Amino acid sequence: MTEAKLTRAAVIDTGIALADEAGLDALSMRRIAERLGVGAMSLYRHIPNKDALLADMTDEVARRHSYPEPEPEWTWRDRVRIAADIDWELYQQHPWVLFTFAVPRYNFGPHSLLCLAWLVEGFGELTTDPREATRMSLAVWSYIAGIAVQQVSASLLAERDTDPDHPSGLSALLRGTPLWPTPPGLAALEGAGTGDLLEPAGMLRTGLDAMCDGFAAQH
């Protein structure tokens, strides 16, 4: 690409591709410029600094994974389920977004706000208070992100000098081969098998169902 044809969108797209491939630690304006075949200084005509780039990358990912136009028959629980499915896929494709969404100067760009509004509108079935609907929406998002962190962290650590097959203390206990003396409160679980207890997608569904039941009970 020549500098004359360089665009802001190309810089953002390349930044996303680099972060997807190697994480945020590998992201730099110099590497983006090398991939685009232009001088590093030319990027600053389109993106003022790395902070602005991360904000733009985060919002572009939110745009690519926007929530669908709601169907008339959808309930607020349907919206929670659909949001969870979309966000789960987003975090698998772009794990670094878990970290940028957590930083105020990067999160809640225009497309993220549209997604938040979509959830808030759904919770309008439960409450007429937009602040309460927003609190519920943010709680849902936080829970989805929290479960996704477990999945993403495992994949990120697998790329480092770690043993991905080494069992956790809980999984070893459930398999009947505890690494340490079993606490009395967990004695009934020793050797019971992991089943889907430690499966992130299962935890996501179970937790969101319980959260939604709680929201419904409160209203």
Is the pLDDT at 165 greater than 70? The verdict is no
CATH class of 1-48: mainly alpha
- The answer to whether the CB of 117 falls within 8 A of the CB of 41 is no
Contacts of 50 (CB under 8 A, 6+ apart): 27, 28, 29
Tokens of 127: 């409450």
Spell out the domain ranges in the chain: 1-48, 69-218
How high is the pLDDT of residue 166?
Answer: 67
How high is the pLDDT of residue 4?
Answer: 58
Q: What percent of the chain has pLDDT over 90?
A: 78
Compute the radius of gyration of the chain from its Cα atoms.
21
d(CA 163, CA 71): 46
How high is the pLDDT of residue 94?
Answer: 96
How high is the pLDDT of residue 164?
Answer: 54
Residue pLDDT, tens place only, 193-208: 988 788 888 889 999 9
The pTM of this model reads: 0.88
- Between the alpha carbon of residue 77 and those of residues 20, 134, 190, 200, the distances in Å are 31, 15, 35, 20
Residue pLDDT, tens place only, 2-53: 665 799 999 999 999 999 999 898 899 999 999 999 998 999 999 999 999 9
- Between the alpha carbon of residue 179 and those of residues 167, 170, 190, 199, the distances in Å are 9, 9, 11, 20
Max CA pair span of the chain: 69
Residue pLDDT, tens place only, 91-132: 999 999 999 999 988 989 999 999 999 999 999 999 999 999
Please name the fold of domain 69-218.
Tetracycline Repressor; domain 2 (1.10.357)
Q: What is the mean pLDDT of residues 73-85?
A: 97
Mean residue pLDDT of the chain comes to 91
